[in-house]
Amino acid sequence: MRLTDFKVLTFDCYGTLIDWETGILNALRPLIRKDPVERSRDEVLASFARHETAQEAKTPDMIYFELLGHVHRRLAAEWGIGASEDDHRAFGGSVGNWPAFADSAASLSYLKQFHNLVILSNVDRKSFAESRKRLGVAFDAVYTAEDIGSYKPDLRNFRYMIDALKNSGHAEHDILHVAQSLFHDHAPANAVGLRSVWIDRRKDAAGSGATPPPPEGVHYDFRFSSMAELVEAHRDELRE
């Protein structure tokens, strides 16, 4: 199996192309500064992952920027910190400020020469529109949780994307899913039969960061520590 065998590359955005852990921590900084307890980066991210996943399961049709506001409220309550409705809204609206990884825009520009590029994301359309500006490429399709009415790892999101791409003339075997989260993306991709690439952005870090731990048995077909590594492997295939 080769990267160049596939016509469509479908991407998770946040964690894969956008550095959401840095973005989350930056947006939580006003709350963290009020906290008398000194919490590690890993502890903060793990708490975020727990509350975000619980809120997505509880309110699968809630718009993501509103959902993030609820996550902020949950974190403030858990840590015993006073926060206003404006504080919750500010965190919910922070997605557009989350930075892209340094290699994302150039990698996407290269891959666009050879593949259709598609986004499958857990955010809302408005938030993604801000992130798109940082990625510098015109995606061939974008499917968000707002469009679908549920959040990954719900298999409904992947089936929605597969059906939409089939309607555009792409068979399932044309699709390669590219993502960082084993929990949100690779496990459901396994379940629906999609091939996948793990962009292991947390290669040397302990734990699972801003995502819950993956289920047992999750697998993937390619593994790279960055989008730049994926591009180099793609170039190697073309040179062979």
pLDDT in tens, 104-160: 999 999 999 999 999 999 999 999 999 999 999 999 999 999 999 999 999 999 999
**What proportions of the chain, in percent to the nearest 5, are helix, strand and coil?**
50, 10, 35
pLDDT of residue 206: 85
pLDDT of residue 203: 87
Domain at 35, CATH number: 1.10.150.750
Record the tokens describing residue 122, joined without a space.
Answer: 């857990």
* Residues 81, 43 share a domain: yes
Domain boundary among 51, 69, 97: 97
Contacts of 240 (CB under 8 A, 6+ apart): none
Task: Based on the residue annotation, tell me whether 12 is a catalytic residue of this protein.
Answer: yes
Instruction: List helix spans (H) across the chain.
Output: 20-33, 41-58, 64-79, 85-92, 104-111, 125-135, 145-148, 155-167, 187-192, 227-239
* Residues 149, 53 share a domain: no
Q: Which one from 5, 12, 147, 185 is the annotated catalytic residue?
A: 12
pLDDT of residue 205: 85
Summarize the confidence of residues 88-104 as an average pLDDT.
98
pLDDT in tens, 25-70: 999 999 999 999 999 999 999 999 999 999 999 999 999 999 999 9
Answer yes or no: is pLDDT of 240 > 90.
no
* Residues 223, 123 share a domain: yes
SS3 label, residue 53: helix
Domain boundary among 77, 97, 117: 97
Q: How confident is the model at residue 97 (pLDDT cuts 50, 70, 90)?
A: very high
pLDDT of residue 204: 81
* Residues 157, 83 share a domain: no
Cis ω on the peptide bond leading into residue 214 (within 30° of 0)? no
Residue given tokens 């469009």 in the structure block: 147
Answer yes or no: is pLDDT of 219 > 90.
yes
Q: How confident is the model at residue 96 (pLDDT cuts 50, 70, 90)?
A: very high
Question: Domain count of the chain?
Answer: 2
Residue given tokens 């598609």 in the structure block: 118
pLDDT of residue 207: 85
Contacts of 143 (CB under 8 A, 6+ apart): 118, 119, 120, 121, 157, 160, 161, 164
Q: Which domain holds residue 117?
A: 3-19+99-239
